[in-house]
Amino acid sequence: MKIVCAIDGSRYSQWALDWLRHLNPPVDCALLLVHAVDMTQFKTLPKLDQKSRSALVKVLEFSLEGAARLLEGAQVKAAKTCGDVRAKLLRGRAAEVIARFAKRERADLLVIGSRGVTEFQPMLLGSVSRRLLMQASCPVLVVKKPAGTLKRVVLGTDGSIESWEAVAWLRQLPEKIRPAVTVASVIPPLPLESSRVPARALAVGDQVEGALRREAQKLAARVAGTLRKAGLSAKGIVLSGPPGAELVKLAGCERANLIVVGSRSGRSAQEYFMGSVADTVVKHAPCSVLVHRG
């Protein structure tokens, strides 16, 4: 197993490292620590006078030295979790170079910390994690809370290949990690909110929603049964409403440590950020989120 963990020196990236310890990676796990330094914003360097140019070069050199020390310190700490730990300093826009590195290394999991949306300037590290979700070619664990024993998991399922791959990920957890899983199949609202919709359309809508609920119940029960066969405690439930919002709400009610969802790859940036269930969950979840990419 190969894991790439992005660090930036914040408490959030430290939580990301701590999560790896609680996931109990296999002995043969290889951990690759990465830190990205983006110097592309300084392309106006030639426009500065000689003195200012020299000063900026010096500042950038200090930045690279600090990044190297950051990776070195993280490597020492991470060695307690994984025997094979390497560190790599990347240059360029964080999301792009980290996603490219993870793909080149054929990583099985990408881990990154995220501030979420409840703190000041939420889109700094948070924007990196969200863009990684769009660009990564492997599952992404977005760590939003300090690590702890993985006791309760909310799994969103819709019958897609990606959601079944998320089920497979949970089934492969080490035997000493056996969280209680709530499998949620969410029925999105039918587009019948308009006051101009005739009464007969509402009646048909009720009929359709009933059929959708029956299928959702079957799916949730099937997934829960699959997890129970792997030794996990699992129950299936059906929810109605916007899927992302419903999963976030459920995670709060269940006091979940982790939300697991699938997400289809190959989507445009606008499509992802405007309509992705995974993006909604990552932005608003009260806990960490694992997004299984397909």
**∠13-14-17 over CA atoms, to 5°?**
90
Residue 115 is predicted with a pLDDT of 62
- Looking at per-residue pLDDT, the higher value among 123 and 115 belongs to 115
Decide if pLDDT at 122 tops 70: no
Instruction: List Cα–Cα distances, 267 to 22, 24, 130, 135, 206, in angstroms.
Output: 32, 32, 13, 9, 32
Q: What is the CATH number of domain 1-145?
A: 3.40.50.620
Start-end of CATH 3.40.50.620 domains in the chain? 1-145, 149-294
Q: What is the residue whose two structure tokens read 């590290």? A: 125
- Looking at per-residue pLDDT, the higher value among 60 and 232 belongs to 232
Residue 120 is predicted with a pLDDT of 38
Q: For 26-38, what is the mean pLDDT?
A: 86
Residue 112, helix vs strand vs coil? strand
Residue 53, helix vs strand vs coil? helix
Domain 149-294 has CATH 3.40.50.620: yes
pTM: 0.83
- What order of strands is seen across the sheet that includes strand 84-91? 84-91, 30-37, 2-6, 109-113, 140-143, 288-293, 258-263, 152-156, 180-187, 233-240
The token pair at 136 is 């990564």
Q: For 151-160, what is the mean pLDDT?
A: 94
Decide if pLDDT at 125 tops 60: no
What whole-number percentage of the chain has pLDDT above 70? Answer: 82
Instruction: List Cα–Cα distances, 128 to 3, 57, 111, 191, in angstroms.
Output: 18, 25, 12, 33
- Say if residues 2 and 106 touch (Cβ distance below 8 Å): yes
The secondary structure element, H or E, covering residue 2 is strand 2-6
